Chains A and B, each alone.
Chain A
Amino acid sequence: MDTFLQQVVSGLATGGIYASLALALVMIYQATDVVNYAQGEMAMFSTYLSWSMMNHGVPYWVAFFATVVIAFAGGVLIQRIIIRPVQNAPVLTIVIVCIGLLTILNSVAGWIYSYIIQPFPSPFPKAPIRLGHLVLGTHDLGAIGVTLLLLALIYVFFRFTTLGLAMRAAAQNPASARLVGIRVGWMLALGWGLAALVGAVAGMMVAPVIFLEPNMMSGILIYAFASATLGGFTSPGGAVLGGFMVGVMENLAGTYISFIGTSLKLTVALALIVIVLLVKPSGLFGRAAVHRV
C-alpha cells in the first residue's frame, strides 16, 4: 500500500510537469487553432535566459519575472515575424514552419550554451515533507501549486475578460471576429505570447527536476502532447488533469506490470491513451468537433 501511494504521489509530481506544458499547448491551440510543436524548445530557451540572468547575480524572483516578460514578448514577435507570412497557408505548412523553429531554437541553444547539463535552482526549500511513510518533494508540491495557479488565472482570463473573449472569437471564427472590430492578427500574436509565457514558467519549474539542457524538453513535449490529447485539446482543465493522469499511469504501469519495467513504460502509457481515445475520440473532456455541412 505504501509503495502504491508513493508511486501515485511521485506520478502526480511528474504529471505536474507534463500538465504545465500541456496547458501551454492547449492555450496556443485555443488562441490560434495551431498545435505549436516548437512549444517545448521555446520553454527551454526561456529557461536558459533566466539561467544566464541568475548566473550574473540576478535574484531568483527578479529573473523569474523578467523571463516571463521576455518570453511573452518573444512569443508575440515569433508570431508576427515567423508565423504571420504563412498564416493563410494550409495547416501542415504552419506545422512545418513550427518544426523549423524547433530545430533552430534547439540548435542555437546548443551553440550558445553548449550541450553540457546544468543544474537549475528551485525557489522552494530543499527539505522534503514526510507524511507517515510518504515522502513529498517540496519542489514537486510547489510546481503543482504553480501549475494550478496558472490554470486558474488562464480560466479567469479567457472566461471573464473582454480580451479573453476577443481572443477566443479570433481563433474560432476569424472572419466574423474581424467584422465586429477585433484585430484578429494581434489577438493571434497575443495568444502566442501567452503560450510562450506559460511555457517559460513550465520550463523554470521543470528544470530543477530534469536539469537544464537543450534537449530537455523533447521527452516532456511528447508526454505533454499525450496529456493534452487525453484531456481534450479544447479544454485547459482537461489538459492539466490529463497531465496528472499520464504521470500516474506511467508510474503505476512501470511498477506493477512486471514485463514492462522501465523499458516499455512509455509504450504502455501511450497505448492506454490510444485506447481511451478510441472510446472517446475527442479526449476525455474535449468537445466533439462540430462541422458545418
Chain B
Amino acid sequence: MDVARAESVPAARPATRPRARGWQGAGLLLLLAVACALPFTLSGFRLFQFSQVWAYAIAVLGLNMLTGYNGQISLGHGAFFALGGYTTAIMIDRWSIPYGWTIPAAGLVCLVAGFLFGIPALRLEGLYLALATFALALAVPQILKYFDSWTGGSQGIVLSKPRAPWGLPLSPDQWLYFLGLGIMVVLFALAWNLLRGRTGRAMVAIRDNPIAAAAMGINGPLYKSLTFGVSACYTGIAGALSVLAVAYVAPDTFNIFLSITFLVAVVIGGLASISGAIFGALFIQFVPNYAQDISKAAPWAIYGLSLILFMYVMPRGVSGSIRVLWRRIREGGRG
C-alpha cells in the first residue's frame, strides 16, 4: 500500500518568490495576532477547546512527518499521546515536579520510545506496519490499567490546572491556551526548518524511492527510526499539553479511536503539509460537536458524512486544495 503516492504530494516546492513569501509572512503574523486576541473574547469552554486544538495540531504534525513525509503509516499514535500524557501526570502527581519540566520530559520519553519502536518497525511496511502500530494503540489502555500503582488504574489521575506564572493577569484556562499556542508555534517552526532542509529531503526521498535514496547515500534505517522518534516526541508533547488542559488522565481516553482520529486529521489537513496539521486539528475538535448540534439521534452519521464529503471535495486535503487554488490565482493573474 503506497501511503502517499508520489504524484499526490509535491516532493520539493520551487523556491517561493520573494513577494509571495512576504504575503505569506504577513498572513501568518495576522493569524497569530488573531490567535493571541481570542482568549480575551471567548468563554472558558471555547478556550479549553482551542487549547485542545493546539495540542492536537502538534500531534497531527508529528504523525504527518511520519506518514506524509516519510511514508510510514501509523495507527498507533494515540499510544505516544498517552505515554506523554501519563509521563506528565505521574511526574506531577507522584513526584511533585513543577509542570513546566514535565513537558520536555514527556517529549524525551516519547522520543526514546518512538525511536525504539521504529527499529523493529523497519521490517514492516504498509498494512503490516499499520497492524503493528494498531496493536500498540490497543495495548496501551490495558497496560495502563495493569500498572495501577503508578497510573491509578481505570480511576486515572486527577491534576489541578496550573496557574499563570510571574503574576500575569491570566486565568488558568487563558494561561494554558497561551502555553499551548507558544509551544505549538515553536514546534511548527522547528518542523518547518527540519523538513525543508537536508533531513526533510532525505525523508521524502525514502518515501518516494527507497532504493534510489540508498544509492545516494541516505542511511534509510537511521532516518526512518529517527523520524519515528521525532514524530513520537511531537505527539508526546501534545499528550502532555492535552492532559494539563483537561487536568485528568484515564486509560480509556486513549482508545484506538483516538489514533484513528489523528490519521483522519492528517488526511483531512493534507498529507505532507505543515499548515494542514492545524486544519486537521480544527476538524477533529469541532466537527463532532457540530454534528451533535445538527442531529442528536445519529451524530456520528453526520460526522461520517462530512468526512466523505470533505474527501470528495478535497481529495488532497485542505492544504492541498489551498495550494491548487493559490497556483490558479497566480497563473490566472499572469494571463
Does B246 lie at the interface of the complex (its beta carbon under 8 Å from any beta carbon of A)?
Answer: no
CA distance A99 to B284 in the complex (A): 13
CA distance A270 to B140 in the complex (A): 12
Contacts of A6 in B (CB 8 A): none
CA distance A85 to B256 in the complex (A): 28
Does B297 lie at the interface of the complex (its beta carbon under 8 Å from any beta carbon of A)?
Answer: yes
What 1/0 mask marks residues of chain B from 1 to 17 whose CB sits below 8 Å from any chain A CB? 11111001100000000
Q: Which listed residue, A35, A93, A96, touches B127 by the CB 8 Å rule?
A: A35
Using A96-B264, A266-B138 as known contacts, list a sample of 16 further A-B pairs with CB atoms less than 8 Å apart, ordered by residue number in A. Answer: A86-B312, A92-B67, A92-B271, A96-B263, A96-B268, A96-B307, A99-B264, A100-B305, A106-B300, A222-B134, A222-B256, A225-B131, A274-B120, A274-B131, A274-B135, A282-B128
Does A256 lie at the interface of the complex (its beta carbon under 8 Å from any beta carbon of B)?
Answer: no
Does B19 lie at the interface of the complex (its beta carbon under 8 Å from any beta carbon of A)?
Answer: no
CA distance A85 to B309 in the complex (A): 10
Which of B132, B211, B268 has the most chain A CB within a 10 Å cutoff?
Answer: B132
Closest to B123 in A: A281
- A222 near B128 with CB under 8 A, answer no
CA distance A100 to B126 in the complex (A): 21
Contacts of B130 in A (CB 8 A): 35
- B2 near A91 with CB under 8 A, answer yes
CA distance A99 to B271 in the complex (A): 17
Interface size on B, residues (CB 8 A): 51
Chain A min CB distance to B334 (Å): 29
- B315 near A100 with CB under 8 A, answer no
Chain B min CB distance to A95 (Å): 8
- A263 near B127 with CB under 8 A, answer no
CA distance A271 to B132 in the complex (A): 8
Does A154 lie at the interface of the complex (its beta carbon under 8 Å from any beta carbon of B)?
Answer: no
Does B104 lie at the interface of the complex (its beta carbon under 8 Å from any beta carbon of A)?
Answer: no
Main secondary structure of the interface of B (DSSP, over half): helix
Given A96-B267, A270-B139, A271-B139, residue A283 in contact with residue B128 (CB < 8 A): yes
- B297 near A111 with CB under 8 A, answer yes
- A96 near B1 with CB under 8 A, answer no
Contacts of A97 in B (CB 8 A): 307-308, 311
Contacts of B134 in A (CB 8 A): 222, 225
Residues of B within 8 A of A (CB): 1-5, 8-9, 67, 73, 120, 123-128, 130-132, 134-135, 138-139, 142-143, 145-146, 211, 256, 260, 263-264, 266-268, 271, 297-301, 303-308, 311-312, 315-316
Q: Which listed residue, B1, B139, B263, B312, touches A85 by the CB 8 Å rule?
A: B312
CA distance A93 to B266 in the complex (A): 10
Chain A 20-35 residues near chain B, CB threshold 8 A: 29, 33, 35
Contacts of A82 in B (CB 8 A): 308
- A101 near B131 with CB under 8 A, answer no
- A104 near B5 with CB under 8 A, answer no
Q: Which listed residue, A35, A93, A102, A278, touches B123 by the CB 8 Å rule?
A: A278
Closest to B299 in A: A107
Residues of A within 8 A of B (CB): 29, 33, 35, 82, 85-86, 89-93, 95-97, 99-104, 106-108, 110-111, 222, 225-226, 229, 233, 263-264, 266-267, 270-271, 273-274, 277-278, 281-283, 289, 293
Closest to B135 in A: A270
CA distance A266 to B128 in the complex (A): 18
Contacts of B139 in A (CB 8 A): 266-267, 270-271
CA distance A270 to B125 in the complex (A): 17
- B123 near A103 with CB under 8 A, answer no
What 8 pairs across the A-B complex have the smallest Cβ distances? A100-B307, A103-B304, A270-B135, A104-B304, A107-B300, A89-B315, A107-B301, A100-B304
- A108 near B131 with CB under 8 A, answer no
Chain B min CB distance to A216 (Å): 16
CA distance A289 to B304 in the complex (A): 32
- A92 near B4 with CB under 8 A, answer yes
- A111 near B298 with CB under 8 A, answer yes
Q: Which listed residue, A89, A108, A278, touches B298 by the CB 8 Å rule?
A: A108
- B142 near A273 with CB under 8 A, answer no
Contacts of A85 in B (CB 8 A): 312
CA distance A246 to B30 in the complex (A): 55
Contacts of B138 in A (CB 8 A): 222, 266-267, 270
Given A92-B4, A108-B298, A293-B211, residue A102 in contact with residue B304 (CB < 8 A): yes
- A92 near B299 with CB under 8 A, answer no
Q: Which listed residue, A96, A102, A222, touches B311 by the CB 8 Å rule?
A: A96
CA distance A225 to B267 in the complex (A): 22
- A92 near B3 with CB under 8 A, answer yes
8 A-B residue pairs with CB within 8 Å: A90-B3, A91-B1, A100-B306, A101-B304, A103-B304, A104-B300, A226-B135, A229-B127
Chain A min CB distance to B106 (Å): 23
- A86 near B131 with CB under 8 A, answer no
Given A93-B267, A96-B311, residue A110 in contact with residue B131 (CB < 8 A): no
Contacts of B299 in A (CB 8 A): 107
Contacts of B1 in A (CB 8 A): 33, 35, 91
Which of A92, A100, A233 has the most chain B CB within a 10 Å cutoff?
Answer: A92
- B308 near A101 with CB under 8 A, answer yes
Which of B263, B268, B298 has the most chain A CB within a 10 Å cutoff?
Answer: B298
Which of A33, A107, A283, A293 has the most chain B CB within a 10 Å cutoff?
Answer: A107
CA distance A99 to B304 in the complex (A): 7
CA distance A293 to B299 in the complex (A): 46
CA distance A45 to B311 in the complex (A): 24
CA distance A111 to B301 in the complex (A): 10
Q: Which listed residue, A33, A92, A107, touches B267 by the CB 8 Å rule?
A: A92
- B308 near A273 with CB under 8 A, answer no
Q: Which listed residue, A93, A273, A289, touches B131 by the CB 8 Å rule?
A: A273
